[in-house]
A and B are shown apart, each in its own frame.
Chain A
Amino acid sequence: AQSVTQLGSHVSVSEGALVLLRCNYSSSVPPYLFWYVQYPNQGLQLLLKYTSAATLVKGINGFEAEFKKSETSFHLTKPSAHMSDAAEYFCAVSGTTDSWGKLQFGAGTQVVVTP
């Protein structure tokens, strides 16, 4: 079965500091992995995705994530936090080959950015 674990339900970072959000996955097949962001009262928006091409994936708003098979991790980073990065972030893994559309999400990490 596919699953993801996000370490830390809340993260507080200073404006300009590194943002690091951790995600570990479990998958019976080579996974597709995703990071989504959810702003208050808005729908989920895709930040980036890993689909077995390059292991370092660049996304929108300056975010990137690195797929590490040996560590079963897909951590999200941004070198310098902006106030506008305050949101909830979700890591997700795709389903198996007969149900790719079935995303399994982590519990989410709420990011607070302080001036």
Chain B
Amino acid sequence: QQPVQSPQAVILREGEDAVINCSSSKALYSVHWYRQKHGEAPVFLMILLKGGEQKGHEKISASFNEKKQQSSLYLTASQLSYSGTYFCGTQWGDNTDKLIFGTGTRLQVFP
């Protein structure tokens, strides 16, 4: 029941845009997005709640489609610092439920 992310990997030039998708087989309460750089801990980017709005963080934003049980992460005008592996994390019950991470998407941004 692990969320499935697509694509598995993305290669970009600086300034290009990317979209990362996260799909769940169960109805979602919330979707979290994290970025993990090599050898480091995952860092919280944002959270989207059932019935909530699209949230943004600088040039990174996300959407949450409750009907499709999907979330998408949008990276606009990518920077070198955006490189890393992106994970979505999902909660199905409420905000006390365990956070289950997706399969991950590796993003590499080149000059």
Whether both chains belong to one complex is answered with no
Give chain B's interface residues, CB within 8 Å of chain A.
none
Give chain A's interface residues, CB within 8 Å of chain B.
none
